[in-house]
A and B are shown apart, each in its own frame.
Chain A
């Protein structure tokens, strides 16, 4: 059993980004980058399945600038076996990414593709579902538990109001939710070992679907801020304000 895990390099989710004053986008110069948290959960899940003897190989793939090699190295240090990077210096969209990943999947022939449910930069929440549709595979989005059986997977998913359990015939696409697992920290020896693991670098020119952009960004602005509020000194004052000033209770 082989598992393919697409990973994305994004801005560190703990830093507050700055919007450029001219409305042309988000200022990414000298911003700390990291592996998308949901992709990290996907890598962890794949490694756990391999460690449990359910899978033989974990292949990570990223689409992004040369620097995305760092993201792949992070996944290799966690325990992934090998990596593929499609070098794309310009912006990409989920549909193009899903098409490129489809071709990687057709070459690699994985039984499961585990994808983060969304990237914390564009917050699209699309790639996994699109990839499943293009491959004609079933999907289990927002997974909080994955169990593998003979030719099937049982997945518990987070839905509005609770949880749902599906049984899916392999091959499948799974997208990860927060509670699926807590990713490990890579140990120093594993970080050293990861440096020797192979990264197969492909040229964007071989993936023309990535350049087929369908959306045009007209402007990017900072959201309107909230007017500064006040501090109240007591519960009585709070309730009085909510009743007579804000009139919300």
Chain B
């Protein structure tokens, strides 16, 4: 049994989601290799080589691979896949884009957003926004699996796997990367943060989001999240969205401010260890999942909370 993990990275740093995916791969039972694809990604490859349980790092490095475009990346993965039983990627925006493309090239079905590994071919995954958990077995000769990062801890470091360079694929250049607007973020990354503070429609405006949600997140050293309603209303950018169609988080502490608790939001945060909800509507569904609920006007409660945290 051989497992290939596709590394998710930004060109210089490997994402925490990759280390979590390696943990999931260890429970499949087999030799684990990591495939790093990009341009000038020596640092990513050496980081991958340090991860525990990794036997080998494969690295494809070429200018045409600089932006992780799905077409050349999937072509390389599909070419290398013949030597592996399981091809595993984190369910990040990168992994979600490339993995189904790889699966189709290999003529196999993908198992998406896996939250638990039962065996090498059997997995548990949420469906219907996490309102049901399905155990599925793949009958394919090899499997393409994406892993929900928040469901697994990150693997430790201390390994010294060898790095092997592999050829880049030549595919017709049908796609040109024109640029990106990546938010410079001093806060922890949303999907791996220990504390997440999220705001909902109840926050009322983009300005109030900045004045209430952000200072509390910073006070707690946490990441910032938002409900779909808050994103739809333009209070927060889409990549802060927590929920079925946004990010799935499972921090130690999740603070929901002015969030009613729609099914699709709960799907993104209900596996958090401790949930705190502050909402002025005592009947809001968020209170059904909250460990600590406070029925209060958040515009008064949040400044009080920050002041209280300042004491001691």
Contact (Cβ within 8 A) B183 A161: yes
Contact A19 B132, CB 8 Å, known A124-B110, A214-B139, A248-B195:
yes
Give residues of chain A (168-201) contacting chain B, Cβ–Cβ below 8 Å. 168-169, 177-179
Give residues of chain A (223-241) contacting chain B, Cβ–Cβ below 8 Å. 223, 226, 228-236, 238-239, 241
A234: min CB distance to chain B, Å: 8
Contact A164 B179, CB 8 Å, known A214-B139, A231-B295:
yes
Compute how far the CA of A34 lies from the CA of B253 in the bound complex, rounded to whole angstroms.
35
Q: Does B34 contact A (CB under 8 A)?
A: no
With a CB–CB cut-off of 8 A, which chain A residues contact B174?
137-138, 168-169
Q: Does B127 contact A (CB under 8 A)?
A: yes
Q: Does B62 contact A (CB under 8 A)?
A: no
Contact A215 B139, CB 8 Å, known A118-B245, A139-B70, A238-B276:
yes
Selecting from B22-30, B48-56, B93-101, B159-167, the interface stretch reads: B93-101
Contact (Cβ within 8 A) A166 B308: no
Contact (Cβ within 8 A) A178 B231: yes
With a CB–CB cut-off of 8 A, which chain A residues contact B273?
246, 248
Chain B count of residues within 8 A CB distance of the other chain: 89
With a CB–CB cut-off of 8 A, which chain A residues contact B103?
95, 126, 130
Interface size class, chain A: 35 or more
Compute how far the CA of A177 lies from the CA of B243 in the bound complex, rounded to whole angstroms.
13
Chain A 86-130, CB-CB to B under 8 Å as 1, else 0, gives 000000011100100000000000000000011011111111111
Q: Does A52 contact B (CB under 8 A)?
A: no
Interface centre among A138, A169, A228, A233 (most CB of B within 10 A): A138
With a CB–CB cut-off of 8 A, which chain A residues contact B140?
214
Compute how far the CA of A130 lies from the CA of B308 in the bound complex, rounded to whole angstroms.
52
B148: min CB distance to chain A, Å: 11
Q: Does A162 contact B (CB under 8 A)?
A: yes
Compute how far the CA of A122 lies from the CA of B276 in the bound complex, rounded to whole angstroms.
29
Compute how far the CA of A118 lies from the CA of B285 in the bound complex, rounded to whole angstroms.
25
With a CB–CB cut-off of 8 A, which chain B residues contact A22?
none
The B interface, classified by DSSP as helix, strand, loop or mixed, is: mixed
Q: Does B12 contact A (CB under 8 A)?
A: no
A122: min CB distance to chain B, Å: 5
Compute how far the CA of A19 lies from the CA of B140 in the bound complex, rounded to whole angstroms.
27
Q: Does A220 contact B (CB under 8 A)?
A: yes
With a CB–CB cut-off of 8 A, which chain A residues contact B185?
161
Contact (Cβ within 8 A) A125 B100: yes
With a CB–CB cut-off of 8 A, which chain B residues contact A166?
69, 175-178
Compute how far the CA of A167 lies from the CA of B92 in the bound complex, rounded to whole angstroms.
22
- Cross-chain pairs A/B with CB under 8 angstroms, 12 sampled: A13-B129, A118-B245, A121-B128, A168-B174, A178-B231, A178-B238, A214-B108, A218-B122, A232-B292, A235-B308, A246-B291, A249-B195
Please give the residue numbers on chain A whose beta carbons come within 8 Å of chain B beta carbons, in ascending order: 11, 13-14, 16-17, 19, 26, 38, 93-95, 98, 117-118, 120-134, 137-139, 141-142, 144, 154, 158-169, 177-179, 214-223, 226, 228-236, 238-239, 241-242, 246, 248-249
The list of the 8 closest CB pairs from A to B, nearest first, reads A129-B100, A130-B104, A133-B104, A214-B109, A162-B182, A126-B100, A229-B291, A165-B178
